[in-house]
Chain A
Amino acid sequence: MEDRPSGQLPEPLHARPVPRPGRWVSAVVVLVLVAMAVNALVTNPNFRWDTVWLYLRDVVVVRGVGWTLVLTFGSMALAIVLAVMLAVMRRSDNPVMRGVSWFWIWFFRGTPIYTQLVFWGLLSVLYPRLSLGIPFGPEFWTFTTQDVITAFWAALLGLALNESAYLAEIVRAGLSSVDPGQAEAAKALGMKDGKILRRIVLPQAMRVIVPPTGNETISMLKTTSLVLAVPFTLELTYATNAIGNRIFQPIPLLIVAALWYLLITSVLMIGQHYLERYYGRGFDGGRTGGGRGPRGGRRKPRKQDLIGASGTTKDDPFLEVTP
């Protein structure tokens, strides 16, 4: 918060910058290396760039991209909901809830995702009929597994349940990063636990949760290729492999898939940037947050921050008498 009126800003100093020859040298070296790499890629006939270009826009490939996106976002969305529940259960004072959460995380982190996906795919073989009822007692509602758990749902559930175990730990770390004083202040205002979590603690935890979750999303994008274990055969990797094998040109089709993954990852990274900015509002002097509130440059640490950070104020009865 600079109080100086803008009309009185002093003329900034004009000085020659420090020479930085290292930058020029490194730029030249990198340029040469990049040129070599591009040359090696473009001029090598084995890559068949004409085939790459042709199949980059192929209907089956684009549909594969669509399914990959559906699996990625679908499973991440479900996983995030589960993870928040698991993290809250893990912190609850109900020992049953804590135990369930612990077991869930232990199991889904402890077994390979590939194995889990195979089992989800086999569910309709292992349990041809699913029923709701009292264990060992009467059944109220029965249906054929195949009708409900299709390959798509098996893939989605398999990915989501596995991911939820990892995300739960991320959410838990996020929740513990929030000053307990926040929940306490909300409690003192008469807010109930659910509201405190949703309105006060979670939004602040998001600052810690979003970056690793973005990372997990990008990782999930490529983990979706494992759903051939189910088997679910419409997503990008399977589709491009199938085409590659059919036309006996696997390498150009691998490049097609790689280019699509790179493109999606780039878009995800941009999205992550904006999410991080949104959840960082209020924490960096309010530079962010959709235009509400005054903006300023990066805030300089103030005396009050130092008093707070020193942690000396907690129990010192004589602090206030300092002149």
Chain B
Amino acid sequence: MSGSSPVEPVETTPAALRQAQEPMVQARDVHKVFGRGHDAVHVLKGVDLDVARGSVTVVLGPSGSGKSTLLRCVNELEEITAGSIHVDGDLMGYRRDDKGVLHRLHPKVIAKQRSRIGMVFQRFHLFPHKTALENVMEAPVQVRGLTKGEARRRALELLDRVGLAERAEFYPAQLSGGQQQRVAIARALAMDPELMLFDEPTSALDPELVGEVLAVMQDLARSGMTMIVVTHEIGFAREVADHVVFMDDGTIVEEGRPADVLDNPSEPRLQDFLAHVL
């Protein structure tokens, strides 16, 4: 993986320095309300989150606490109700003009913003009518306009990276869950994202296949990719995460370094959650 590598020479101009220190993701007081009137559900209730460049943030929390919604808001699959989310310094979904008036961005621009963020879903969502190779080639060809040959070469590289080079011509239905999820990771990486979002990537897997997917993710983290991972794999959080966030009922209840959060939880709800998961 070349695009995400942090070992490029560090520029020392003030602007570059400021940019390097600025978090990759900056969420401020994010609210999300589904529906309206009597049916309104307040799912995110003022979430603040910073994700440093090249870091891995693991999001924990009970079911229904809003973890998926938060990830979906970061890449604009859901429109936030209030607050702001910046990714790589860009305000997601909106533009503020000189007078401070907010404008919704055109869907084309939003699609472009999204293309820089990779997402991996719990249920893989590979395109079933395309082979593994075609799945990985699809976005580079259709979104970035790469030639077929170029996209193919790169896709084979990525499939090799997730250990599936010899499965390139298989359809998703012919692959195991773990293999499908690894193809899905390769598909997201094909767009050279600067940020990767994982929504419970191993929850739909046969337990014996969880390891192979986590290994790929760990490898990706080592390469310096900025990642937000929603998972219940405490072992992964402990080993790979730089930052652990615990969400409950639409807010971040506790966050910090893995050792502090996982071994010395101060919040009773987190203690309770960890007691169940471990």
Q: Does A74 contact B (CB under 8 A)?
A: no
Q: A189 contacts B232, CB within 8 Å?
A: no
Q: Known contacts A188-B114, A199-B138: does B173 contact A284 (CB below 8 Å)?
A: yes
Stretch of A25-33, A218-226, A301-309 on the interface side? A301-309
Contact of A192 with B111 at beta-carbon distance under 8 Å, contacts A199-B138, A317-B62, A323-B207 already known? yes
Docked complex Cα distance between A292 and B207 (Å): 31
- Interface mask (A287-298 → B, CB under 8 Å = 1, otherwise 0): 001001110100
A-B residue pair count with CB separations less than 8 angstroms:
145
Q: How far is the CA of A313 from the CA of B170 in the complex (A)?
A: 25
Interface of B is mostly: loop
CB-CB nearest in chain A for B273: A317
- Is B172 on the interface with A (CB-CB < 8 A)? yes
Q: A199-B138, A296-B174, A318-B232 are in contact. Are A282 and B123 (CB under 8 A)?
A: no
Taking CB atoms and an 8 Å cut-off, the chain A residues in 131-175 that contact chain B are none
Name, among A195, A284, A296, A317, the residue most crowded by chain B CB atoms within 10 Å (CB to CB). A317
Pick the contact of B77 from A184, A203, A299 — CB < 8 Å?
A: A184
Q: Is the CB of A181 within 8 A of B174?
A: no
Hey, which chain A residues are within 8 Å of B121, CB to CB? 181, 184-185
Bound Cα distance A286, B129 (Å) = 9
- Find the B residue at minimum CB distance from A181: B125
Does A204 lie within 8 Å of B128, measured CB to CB?
yes
Kindly list chain B residues whose C-beta atoms are within 8 Å of the C-beta of A282.
128-131, 171-173
Q: Closest B residue to A203 by CB, please name it.
A: B129
Give the nearest-CB partner of B177 in chain A: A304
**Main secondary structure on A side of the interface with B:** loop
For window 112-157 of B, CB contacts with A under 8 Å fall at 112, 114-119, 121-123, 125-131, 138-139, 142-143
Of all chain A residues, the one with the shortest Cβ separation from B123 is: A181
* Cβ B232 vs Cβ A200 within 8 A: no
Report chain B residues within 8 Å CB of A318.
Answer: 232, 276-277
B207 touches A187 (CB 8 A): no
B173's contact among A279, A286, A313, A319, by CB below 8 Å, is which?
A286
List the 7 closest pairs (A to B, CB-CB), nearest first: A190-B115, A185-B125, A304-B177, A189-B139, A282-B171, A188-B119, A315-B63
Chain A interface (Cβ < 8 Å from any Cβ of B): 1, 179, 181-182, 184-193, 195, 199-200, 203-204, 279, 281-286, 289, 292-294, 296, 299, 302-304, 307-308, 313-323
Given contacts A187-B114, A189-B115, 13 further A-B contacts (CB under 8 A): A181-B123, A190-B112, A190-B143, A190-B191, A191-B138, A281-B129, A284-B173, A292-B131, A313-B204, A316-B63, A318-B276, A319-B203, A323-B207
A-B pairs with beta carbons under 8 Å apart, 6 shown: A181-B123, A186-B127, A189-B143, A293-B171, A304-B177, A317-B277
